[in-house]
Structure 1
Amino acid sequence: MSVDVERDALRQELFAMVSRSTGGALESGESFGVATEFPDTGMTSISYLELIDGLETKYGVVVDLESDGLRLTSIDKVVDFLLEQGVAA
């Protein structure tokens, strides 16, 4: 699978995860885009932690909230992180 196809597949999965972690408050494509920073969407810290927990569970990665968590602030930044970790959609 090409990197662009992989990136798009991960983006779609992440939009769904963000929607679930916010109880549907942020629907994909309506409230935010791939580069929109999570704090700008009104995502709560609890929703963010639920997203991080979902990433760790679904993809088997470990997110260090003190270092990684500070840079995982948008869909594209999370996709970059997952690709760096060798995750495939």
Structure 2
Amino acid sequence: MSVREKVAALVAAACDHTIGADDVLAHGDSLASLGVGSLAYLRLIDSLESEYDVRIDLDADVTFLESLDAMVEQLARLGVRETGT
């Protein structure tokens, strides 16, 4: 599973699967426009930190949380790489 696919699955889980991972993957606009709310964003941040052993500074610019591709790009900047599995 690619990082992009895994992050989409984490978004879906953070939303209690009211939004599917396929919807997240197909949607190019902001996650908020899909219905991702503030509690889901907090769950997502926890999941990203746990899954990828990264730290997301909530006092810094977190606009990367607005879209799937921006999150994947930020994770790459934090050292997350595709594993090939």
Question: TM-score, structure 2 length as denominator?
Answer: 0.83
Structure 2 counterpart of 1:77: 70
Cα distance between partner residues in 2 of 1:48 and 1:78 = 12
Contact 2:14 2:41 in 1 (8 A): yes
CA pair 23-61 structure 1, distance change in 2 beyond 3 A: same
Q: Which moved more, 1:50-59 or 1:24-33?
A: 24-33
- In structure 1, the gaps of 5 or more residues are 1-7
- Alignment of 1:42 with 2:44, yes or no, is no
User: What's the offset of the Cα at 1:84?
Assistant: 0.7
1:1-89 alignment runs, 5 A limit: 9-30=2-23, 33=26, 35-89=28-82
User: What's the offset of the Cα at 1:66?
Assistant: 2.6
Question: TM-score, structure 1 length as denominator?
Answer: 0.80
Percentage of identical aligned residues: 29
> Displaced runs of 4+ in structure 1, greater than 6 A?
none
Query: What's the Cα RMSD here?
Result: 1.9
Contact 1:11 1:34 in 2 (8 A): no
User: What is the SS of the residue equivalent to 1:18?
Assistant: helix
- In structure 2, the gaps of 5 or more residues are none
Contact 1:19 1:26 in 2 (8 A): yes
